[in-house]
Amino acid sequence: KQEVTQIPAALSVPEGENLVLNCSFTDSAIYNLQWFRQDPGKGLTSLLLIQSSQREQTSGRLNASLDKSSGRSTLYIAASQPGDSATYLCAVSHNAGGTSYGKLTFGQGTILTVHP
């Protein structure tokens, strides 16, 4: 059974700091790994998707890496801003029982607070 763990559960940093969020998963047989952002009381917004054959993806101040063999991913946020405050969720897409698409298993998220 695939399990996804995110560390830390919560993080509070001053504006401008670079920070790293961690995600680990137990089964390396994945299609991809995805990072989502969730604002309080809202739905999820996709940030980055790393295919299983890739090592990293970048979007603006965000950089996500994937080490599939060790079951780890990191999300690096450069020059953090108060607007980055949200919950960040990691999810892995893995085989959904013989179908052509994947099932997402989510971690519990990291609550990020960036204070001015």
User: Residues in the site for other proteins, rule: CB under 8 A?
Assistant: 4, 31-32, 34, 36, 41-46, 49, 51-53, 89, 91, 93, 96, 99-104, 106-109
Instruction: Give least dist CB 52 to other proteins, A.
Output: 6
Of 41 and 116, CB closest to other proteins: 41
Instruction: Give least dist CB 82 to other proteins, A.
Output: 22
**Nearest one of 34, 25, 9, 13 to 77, comparing CA atoms:** 13
Instruction: Give least dist CB 108 to other proteins, A.
Output: 4
Of 77 and 90, CB closest to other proteins: 90
**Nearest one of 74, 92, 115 to 3, comparing CA atoms:** 92
Under DSSP, the state recorded for 41 is: T
CB atoms within 10 A of CB 18: 11
Of 1 and 116, CB closest to other proteins: 1
Question: In whole angstroms, what is the distance from residue 110 CA to residue 90 CA?
Answer: 9
